[in-house]
Amino acid sequence: MIATPHTDATLKASLPLAGYRILDLTTFLSGPFCTQILADLGAEVVKVEAPEGDSSRAIPPHFVGDDSAYFLGANRNKKSLAIDMKHPEGLALVKRLIGEADVVVENFRPGVAGRIGLHIEALREAQPSLIWASISGFGQTGPWRDKPAYDMIVQALSGVMSLTGEPGRPAVRLGIPAGDMVAGMYAAIAINAALADRERHGAGRTIDVSMLDCQLAMLSYQSTYSLVAGVTPQPQGARHDSIPTYRSFTAGDGRELVVTANTERMWRGLCAALDLDELPGDQRFDSGSKRLASRDALWPLLEAAFLTRSAAEWIEPLTANGVPVALIKTVPEALTDAREAGRGMVISVEDETGNRADVVGNPIKFSGAVEAPATYPPALGADAHSVLGEWLACPTDEIGDLQDKGVLLSRAALTP
């Protein structure tokens, strides 16, 4: 199936990927996060799981019903099939589904898809419009292609961990799984680009996204500093390599806040707010380059000033003087703020059995789009009848036969 450009007035107001079918052969986080983005953008995403389910369904310690909170955070707005691809009829069923999909997303280790019988080039030869997106640790080519990779592995190998933490202290993993999630985001970007290209030229693409490559791309100016100047960037803590007034401070109540005084105007505003009016005229600090060179003399003066008030008391004077400032919030505080902001960034989803979970919503907003309420992440195999009926026109007795053979599991089949 190739989705055609939307012409119906209702579809014009819908989300931009409405009408596209995505077959999701992914597990854990990088792939599911990618396909959740596509689902949030309106695509129909069918998640194909092994009979035992995506392993992330069982990650402790928090559960809603039978499923882990970890799983619930990356699988909304999808449908689920549970198919045994080790069974010949299961593999044949997946190939039939591929024949009806616009995009296949998988995060097998390189070579695994071929070993289980999904030969990408053969599939695309039979279906030239197919877009196949592979997410792996180190890419489909290169000397490390066969090595296993997880989030912290690529954070370590990319240099990201060497930049994280306090100077002189051991390296620290980022508090979010950036190795997985950034790869998922880049894959979603590539898929959208491939869909746009297919609308013009008719042919699909084979996409190769490496978690390590994506982490390297996220090094930003730190990689350029290293390549251009031959330096080894060091951990920054809550500071900036180039701007000494772009950092966190501890206030008198022990709470932390950040200021980002990165222009001359903001520097003067910072001094005014802190009652340090003599500093702008101090020759050690009268330019950005001088402040950077003299940061060891500057920081104790700023730190002592911040200790004279509580963190909350600093917000108003800093803001009034044009200095960007923020308290360092806990996750619950940040989510409370998000609820109050009213931008749909904390949403509630509920299934038909009464399981309910609050999750973070879609950050991409389209003016005028008609967005249906988000659906609860699917129960394992819950959509066998609807998906196989709609995609493949499978009659009920064929679905029942596949269930009897153990090729296909569904929630109905698992219910006593």
Class of domain 246-328: alpha beta
Q: Which CATH code is given to the segment(s) 9-218+344-414?
A: 3.40.50.10540
Per-10-residue mean pLDDT of the chain, 416 residues long, equals 43 81 98 98 98 96 97 98 97 98 98 97 95 98 95 98 95 97 98 98 97 98 97 94 96 98 98 98 97 98 98 98 98 98 96 96 92 93 96 96 93 52
Half-sphere exposure of 257 (CA within 13 A, CB side): 25
pLDDT of 376 reads 98
Q: 263 with 191: CB under 8 angstroms?
A: no
pLDDT of 12 reads 46
Q: How far apart are CA 260 and CA 270, in angstroms?
A: 9
Handedness of CA 49, 53, 59, 61 (dihedral sign): positive
Beta pairing partners, 104: 23, 132
Token match 């026109």: residue?
Answer: 393
pLDDT of 93 reads 98
pLDDT of 411 reads 63
Catalytic residue among 40, 67, 102, 180: 180
Q: Is 180 a catalytic residue?
A: yes
Q: What is the pTM of this model?
A: 0.93
E strand or H helix at 317, and its extent? helix 311-320
- Residue ranges of the domains in the chain? 9-218+344-414, 246-328
